[in-house]
Amino acid sequence: MGDRVRIRLHPSGEEVEVAPGSVLRDVLFAFGVEFPCGGQGDCRRCRVEVLTGNLRPSQDETRLLSAAELQAGWRLACRGRVEGPVTLSVEQHAAPILADHSQFSFEPREGFGVAVDIGTTTLVAQLVELATGRILASHTALNPQGARGSDVMSRLDYASRATARVELNSLIQGEVGKLVADCVTTTDLQRDALTHVVLVGNTAMHHLFSGLELQTLARAPFEPADTGLQEFSAGDLGWDVAGDVVVRFLPCLGGFVGSDILAGVLATRMHESSTLTALIDLGTNGEIVIGSRERLLCASTAAGPAFEAGGIAQGMRATRGAIDQVRVGSNTSDELRCHVVGGGRAKGICGSGLVDAVAAGLDNGLIEASGRLAGDGHKRLDLVDSVHLTQSDIRQLQLAKGAVAAGIRILLGRLGKSERDLQHLFLAGAFGNYVNRASAERIGLIPARAENCDAMGNSALLGAKLALFSTCSADLEFGDLRQRVEHIPLASSQEFHEIFIQQTRFPEAARMTPQL
Residue-by-residue DSSP string for 358-381: HHHHHHHTSB-TTSPBSSTT--EE
Q: What is the pLDDT of residue 150?
A: 72
Angle at 45 between CA 381 and CA 306, to 5 degrees: 50
Residues 159 and 251 in one domain: yes
Residues 171, 214, single domain; the answer is yes
What share of the chain in percent tops pLDDT 90? Answer: 48
Regions of the chain with pLDDT less than 70: 1-2, 32, 36-45, 91-96, 330-334, 377, 449-451, 471-477, 509-516
What pLDDT sits at residue 54? 87
Which residue, 112, 99, 299, 244, is CA-closest to 189?
112
Domain boundary residue, one of 227, 244, 259: 259
User: Quick one: 423 exposed, middle or buried, by C-beta within 10 A (0-12, 13-18, 19+)?
Assistant: middle
Give domain status of residue 424, yes or no.
no
436 within some domain: no
Q: Is residue 197 part of a domain?
A: yes
Together in a domain, 59 and 169: no
191: CATH: 3.30.420.480
- Say if residue 155 is in the same domain as residue 248: yes
Cα separation, 463 vs 245, in Å, equals: 20
Q: Please say whether the beta carbons of 446 and 440 come within 8 A.
A: yes
Q: How far apart are CA 89 and CA 92, in angstroms?
A: 10
| Residue 503 resides in a domain | no
Residues 6+ apart with CB under 8 A from 394: 358, 367, 371, 373, 381
Element (H, E) at 427: strand 424-428
- Give the pLDDT score at 42: 64
Q: How far is it, in rounded angstroms, from Cα 38 to Cα 155?
A: 7
Cα distance between residue 57 and residue 46, in whole Å: 14
Same domain, 116 and 82: no
* Residue-number span of the structural domain to which 20 is assigned: 5-89
Cross-strand bridge partners of residue 115: 126, 198
Q: Is 221 exposed, middle or buried (0-12, 13-18, 19+ CB in 10 A)?
A: exposed
Domain boundary among 347, 378, 396: 396
Within-domain flag for 418: no
466 in a domain, yes or no?
Answer: no
Rounded to whole angstroms, how far apart are CA atoms 432 and 453? 11
CATH number, domain with residue 31: 3.10.20.30
Residues 251 and 339 in one domain: no
Tell me, yes or no, whether 240 and 164 share the same domain. Answer: yes
In sequence order, what are the residues at sequence separation of 6 or more whose Cβ sits closer than 8 angstroms to the Cβ of residue 417? 276
Does 209 share its domain with 251?
A: yes
Type of residue found at 38: G
Query: Is the same domain home to 228 and 330?
Result: no
Residues 236 and 146 in one domain: yes
Whole-number Å distance between alpha carbons of 69 and 311: 21
CA distances from 55 to 4, 31, 75, 113 (A): 15, 19, 8, 47
**Pair (203, 245) in one structural domain:** yes
Give domain status of residue 334, yes or no.
yes
The CA-based diameter of the chain, rounded to the nearest angstrom, is 72
Domain ends where: 195, 224, 259?
259
Are 151 and 36 a contacting pair, CB within 8 Å? yes
Residue ranges of alpha helices (H) inside 228-336 are 259-268
Distance between CA atoms of 86 and 155, rounded to whole angstroms? 30
Are residues 316 and 233 part of one domain?
A: no
Q: From residue 95, how far is each of 32, 179, 329, 341 by CA, in Å?
A: 9, 18, 28, 11
Classify residue 248: in a domain, yes or no. yes
Helix (H/G/I), strand (E/B), else coil: 498: helix
Domain count, the chain: 3
